[in-house]
Structure 1
Amino acid sequence: MAITLTPIAHQRVQHFVQTTPGALGLRFGVTKTGCSGWGHVTDLAREQRPGDTVFEDRGVKIFVDADSLALVDGTQIDFGKQGLGETFLFRNPNATAECGCGESFTTSADAA
C-alpha cells in the first residue's frame, strides 16, 4: 500500500508545504464528479483527520481519507503540463477507464 510522488511532484509539494504556514503535507483523495464517476482531488493538509492513512515519500507526508484509500492505493502523483497549464497528474492503477477529457475515472468495482 503506497502513494508516491515523482521527483518533480515531490519538489512542488515540498515547496507548497514549506511556504504555507500550518501545512503538514498533501491531502489526496477522490470525489464523485465528471462523466466517469471519480475525480482525483489534492489540497494541502492542515490536520490529520480521524481515519486518515498517512504515507511519507522522501519526507513529504501524504494524507488519504479512509473512503478514498481503496480507489487511490498505488497511485503515483506527477506534475507537468496539461493543455496550457501545469497541474498534478495521476497514474492510478485502480482506474480502468477515463472519460474523454481525462477529468474522471472508473474502477472495476464501479463496473460491477
Structure 2
Amino acid sequence: MAKNKINITLENITEWLCSTGYLFPRTQIELSRLNKLYPEVKRDTKDEQVDPFKILENSRERKPINLETSANRKEDYSDLRMAARKSEGLPKHIVEKMKKKHKNNGGDKSEN
C-alpha cells in the first residue's frame, strides 16, 4: 500500500509557495522550479495586433461562433462516399491506395 508522504512542513511552506507561484520566487532554485512548473507559453498574436483600449472599454468587435452543423455538409460528403464506393472520378493512385489498404485489412480475399 502506498505511504502518505507529506513534503510540506512549517519550515518549508514559504519555499513551496515561492516555487509554485503563489509568492514571488526569492532564489534561483525557486525560480527554476517555477519555470519548470509553468513553461513559457508561445503566443500566436503579435503585440501590434492587440489594442488594450478596446479591451478595457469593451468596444472590441465580437464575432459569433456558429456551432450548428449545416445540412449541406452531409450532402457534400455524400458525393465523396459514392465516388469512393464506385471508384468513379478518383485518380488512379488513390484507387490503388484504397485497394492496397483493403487487402492489408483482411478485406476481400478474392482479389488475390
Q: Which has the larger radius of gyration?
A: 2
TM-score normalised over the length of structure 2: 0.18
Q: Which has the higher helix share?
A: 2
Higher relative CO (Cα under 8 Å, sequence separation at least 6) belongs to: 1
Q: Which has the higher strand share?
A: 1
